[in-house]
Structure 1
């Protein structure tokens, strides 16, 4: 009887530690996941906000572990947490595109990483998708020369913007359609050292505004500027005529996990999310020990129908190219 009693107490102690371990894991994942709702410029919070997919995966594994260990009383809170993660994540896995629609405009964005991206591969991606407009950030004079030598000088008839030597601040917009530059002295551009040219593209008689985006990275000491640049993009969106079709294209240095980015994207179509591509990862593609885990490059649009979207990795840059095909409003 005594041995049985001791065994029972030992089993009880082991059981309680399992419950505590599951509870601690749930709290940790919950705290990291909840960071997505805090509009903060504290760099640790900004970094944690990119971990949403890992939280979802962790919660799913925790649910499996809870079932295997038969910790039934812990099953309810873990299931609730998984349900919340699914509510956040699953919409991005279901396409809402119009694949049968005629493509009228294809827009691409590439961060050339101080002009080091492989120009031939960029040109190949442009031709493969019959790109009409490309936004190229971190473009240098040498990168422009390489792109033109690779054939983009013959592919595009319009160029707007500037290169910057040995800098990440140069940005250019190339177009196969006639464009009218409308950059001006827009207050949205005062919050980033990078150029963010703006054009109106004449797509066979239909105007589509394209705004290049290059938000500062949320590095230590720069998170206030990062937040201000995103807030300014939201202000830019609100200033546009409600009937005007437009695309915001470029390196936002922010993901859906950041409240600041979701504020910009509110009411707009994020092409890759609309395409149901799930966990899209555009950074860091090459040049880092860590694998790509977050989408920093986006194509946000209004009054355009997303036909399809995707991304392409090229050598020389740690950002993937992103592209989207659109149908004009009828």
Structure 2
């Protein structure tokens, strides 16, 4: 093969590498667009795939020896790494006493297996459970599975034939302080708010169920912004925001909520790419985390997830140490 015949082939290789790089860069850049456009909101959950794609492109570029294309690809990989790598390094306090364990589960219109929920609660010695999409039938099933004996108090409401019911269960005494807070105006779901008396230390727990962005984009973003305003009103009190945020680290409104003084348990635990949705036979495998445990004034000891039957959301849990008294 002559040199003149080889050159067009390499030009096509360079064009192919450049095209893939542009596509990945555009998808990756979507994470900085604060928008309610549905296609962009979906693309913003694809960050891990962008990072994997860029790594694959870097290897392919090196194997093909397209050295002049290696520089822009390497720059893109470095940018992706600065975003992704912090979530893989733990900043927990494993030596601190485990004083509070919080768990959340989206029951998927009450269809989640109640016995598996109860088993997860007992296995992790859960002190506070937030159950979203709770129906009256699901509440009865959870009680029959033993949660009525495990937890001593509850606050919230089960709602029939809808995804709007939410309940906070607690092993500690609680005082419900749910009111007409503006934070609850942007979602039809119940979002109970309680003060949990953890062995004499008050911890404010706010259950969260934000509207899905693919249904009501403006309401979804307004709900996340309202949670940020709620966060700012709490001062330095030990605080937990827990539930289904219908948002991930790829969404600017969610990052804005977390980055101003809150900690996401799974990022603090260094769990990296948490794939907690969608389960349950969906067309795509789980690839994103929509349920979160956000705290202030508590030290994360460990965190994790549990997949169960009947729901497309994995259980999310975190264990904490209380602030020094």
TM range (shorter): over 0.9
1:236: which partner in 2? 230
Aligned partners of 2:60 and 2:6: how far apart in 1?
A: 18
Post-superposition shift, 1:289?
2.2
1:182: which partner in 2? 177
Of 241, 251, 254, which aligns to 2:244? 251
1:327 aligns with 2:324: no
2:301: which partner in 1? 307
Q: Calculate the aligned-residue CA RMSD, in Å.
A: 0.7
Aligned partners of 1:67 and 1:179: how far apart in 2?
A: 59
Gapped runs of 5+ residues in structure 2?
none
1:132 aligns with 2:124: no
Query: Between Structure 1 and Structure 2, how many residues are aligned?
Result: 323
Aligned partners of 1:198 and 1:84: how far apart in 2?
A: 39
Of 220, 226, 236, which aligns to 2:220? 226
Tell me the SS of whatever aligns to 1:195: coil
Post-superposition shift, 1:124?
0.2
2:99: which partner in 1? 104
Aligned partners of 2:172 and 2:122: how far apart in 1?
A: 15
1:262 aligns with 2:255: yes
Post-superposition shift, 1:9?
1.4
Superposition misfits of 4+ residues, deviation over 4 angstroms: none
1:15 aligns with 2:14: no
Aligned partners of 2:115 and 2:140: how far apart in 1?
A: 12
1:199: which partner in 2? 194
1:160: which partner in 2? 155
Tell me the SS of whatever aligns to 2:282: coil
Aligned partners of 2:56 and 2:214: how far apart in 1?
A: 32
Aligned partners of 2:75 and 2:212: how far apart in 1?
A: 34
1:29 aligns with 2:16: no
Of 269, 278, 288, which aligns to 1:284? 278
Tell me the SS of whatever aligns to 2:45: helix
Post-superposition shift, 1:149?
0.3
TM-score calculated relative to the size of structure 1: 0.97
Gapped runs of 5+ residues in structure 1?
none
Aligned partners of 1:261 and 1:287: how far apart in 2?
A: 27
Of 44, 58, 65, which aligns to 2:60? 65
Post-superposition shift, 1:287?
3.1
1:52: which partner in 2? 47
Post-superposition shift, 1:10?
1.2
Of 39, 42, 49, which aligns to 2:37? 42
Tell me the SS of whatever aligns to 1:293: coil
Aligned partners of 1:313 and 1:170: how far apart in 2?
A: 21
Aligned partners of 2:78 and 2:45: how far apart in 1?
A: 19
Give 1 or 2 for the bigger CA radius of gyration.
Answer: 1
Post-superposition shift, 1:44?
0.6
1:318: which partner in 2? 312
